[in-house]
A = this chain, B = another copy of it.
Amino acid sequence: MERSLEKQKKWEQRTDLPLMLAAVAFFVAYALPVLKPEIPAFWVEVCDWAQIIIWAMFIIDYLVRFSLAPHRREFIVNNWFDLLIITLPMLRPLRLLRLLTVLRMFDRHAGNALRGKVTSYTIGTTLIVLVTAAIGILEIERKLPDSQIKDFSAALWWAITTVTTVGYGDTVPVSESGRFLAIALMIFGIALLGLVTGLLSSYLVEKVSETEDKTEYKILKQLEAQNQELKRLSEEVRYLREQLATAPTKE
């Protein structure tokens, strides 16, 4: 068991950077034919093959990690998202989210400040999710006759009006797959709203509790008073002891 855990860590350390690069490459290979449909057919094919190869890499990585995992059931539960995007071809646009692994770089630069870290992650994740959703919806909806999403600009506009829950309704997905993507984006939007609010309100709660008088402050004052009393008492006892030490000699 111990040894398999060690092997697992080694595997993850070695594959960390290559998989990050693979995620970036997958993003490019996916985005290019969607954003520039006028590129020669040869390059489209190259991108297709690149996607398939990188997808195979993701599968191999998953299988190796699975075989090395000490608790296999736990591994499947913890990596449900990886399993989902590897197996379901319908969720192919979500594979772009492998790009989120790039955010791990924040870990290296980040100090202790939890809130700063959460803020960085939130902004990074939001940007990647928005671009991913825009490219995904563009691929799905562009060729549909009654779609309003025909270029990247409209796609990004749709993604942002959705994630902020503004929802004008001027650009709306009309296909089943497009709606799936939209639902994922809405759930992310709700979580984003919660995070922004949570960050701001945790900040306010802390700042307010620092500046305003509170029970805690009274406790601190009481403790300081107690410390003084204790010191006085110690002094008294020390004096007592000295007296006692000299008393017998007096006698």
Count the copies. Answer: 4
Interface residue tally on A, bucketed by range: 35 or more
A183 touches B160 (CB 8 A): yes
Show 8 residue pairs from A and B whose CB-CB distance is below 8 angstroms, ordered by the A residue: A161-B182, A169-B169, A190-B192, A190-B193, A197-B197, A198-B203, A229-B231, A229-B234
> 8 Å CB contacts to B: which residues of A192-226?
192-212, 214-220, 222-226
> 8 Å CB contacts to B: which residues of A218-243?
218-220, 222-227, 229-234, 236-241, 243
Fill in one digit per residue for A155-185: 1 if any B CB lies within 8 Å of its CB, else 0. 0010011101111111010001001001100
Q: By DSSP majority rule, is chain A's interface helix, strand, loop, or mixed?
A: helix
Q: How far is the CA of A245 from the CA of B240 in the complex (A)?
A: 9
Interface residues of A (CB under 8 A from B): 112-115, 118, 153, 157, 160-162, 164-170, 172, 176, 179, 182-183, 186-187, 189-212, 214-220, 222-227, 229-234, 236-241, 243-245, 247-248, 250-251
